[in-house]
Structure 1
Amino acid sequence: MMNPALISMIAIVLAGGATALQAPTNAKLMTAVGSPVNAAFISFAVGTAALGLLALMFQSRPDWAAARGLPWYAWIGGLYGVIFVVAATWGVPRLGVALTITLMVAGQLLISLILDHLGAFGAPRQPINWGRIGGVALVIAGVVMVRRF
């Protein structure tokens, strides 16, 4: 049997690939519907329908009692998705897919270092160190290379 951590990493890489596909797909949609907000709205509507079908298929039911006890910020994750999708939809026609996604990954990594360091939102605490900073610096160097070359 394959290592569960390896399976998880492969799944996440594939999900990242889906993100790269989503940006130009929504940018194409934007040309027909007139704005990145309209394209994002349609994208989220299709995604919501897909999530509804998955919930039915897996017979997934939320624990509403537990959900009511969550802090306010636990309810706004979808807003971050809106920012991401609208920005990617807007950015692709101006910057290209590779630069848009590379910039987004750089932003994700910078914020994730801080979140890990603080153990924010219940994430395991992983202090910032030179190795982690170097890894993010390499991604930022990649942004520069994607932009310049």
Structure 2
Amino acid sequence: MLYFWLALAFVAGMMMPMQAGVNSTLALHSNGALWASWISFAVGTAALFGVVLAMRYNWPIATELRQAPWWAWTGGFMGALFVATGAFLAPRIGAATMVALLVAGQLIMSVILDHIGWATFPQHEINLGRILGVLCLIAGVVLIRMY
């Protein structure tokens, strides 16, 4: 089962540059990246709503939702920023540079989040291997941008 989850993460990662390209194309036809992002979220919301209905999930209880910390509600904002930024940057800096920078930012934040064990992440101390991995990724960003 672990290999399935690893493959799923890899395939989902492959969707990042595709999504940015699709959304930047939509931006050309919808008066900008913000409208394209809004449309993208509307389509995504409809798709997820359809899946929830098809799978017959129970509706969340308001009292349970109220117990969530305030920052648990910020994921949609982060997603909107990510989608809008991708739609805006894709035609300006290219897929490889954009994704290299996105992945570098994701990895650096991931190492920090793992180190402190924040939210639902299991704690993994920063070690030499993780630091070297981050440095290699930064070197990759530089190489991709330079050539």
CA distance in 2, matches of 1:107, 1:94: 18
Following superposition, the deviation at residue 63 of structure 1 comes to 2.9
Aligned length: 146
Aligned to 2:18: 21
Corresponding residue SS for 1:121: coil
Q: Spell out the pairing of 1:35-74 with structure 2 (5 A cutoff).
A: 35-64=32-61, 65-74=63-72
SS of the residue aligned with 2:126? coil
1:98 paired with 2:96, answer: yes
Provide the C-alpha distance between the structure 1 equivalents of 2:58 and 2:145, rounded to a whole number of angstroms. Answer: 45
Report the Cα offset of residue 17 of structure 1. 0.9
Please list every run of 5 or more consecutive structure 1 residues that lacks an aligned counterpart in the other structure: none
> Which structure 2 residue ranges, 5 or more long, are not aligned?
none
- Give the distance between the partners of 1:18 and 1:62, measured in 2 at CA: 29
Equivalent pairs: percent with the same residue? 40
Query: After the TM superposition, which residues 97-136 of structure 1 pair with which residues of structure 2 at under 5 Å, given as runs?
Result: 97-136=95-134
Counterpart CA distance in 1 for 2:13 and 2:118 is: 23
Give per-residue Cα distances to partners, 1:88-107, cap 9 Å, x unaligned.
11111110011111100101
Q: TM-score, normalised by structure 2?
A: 0.95
CA RMSD of aligned residues (A): 1.0
Aligned pair partner of 2:76 in 75, 78, 93: 78
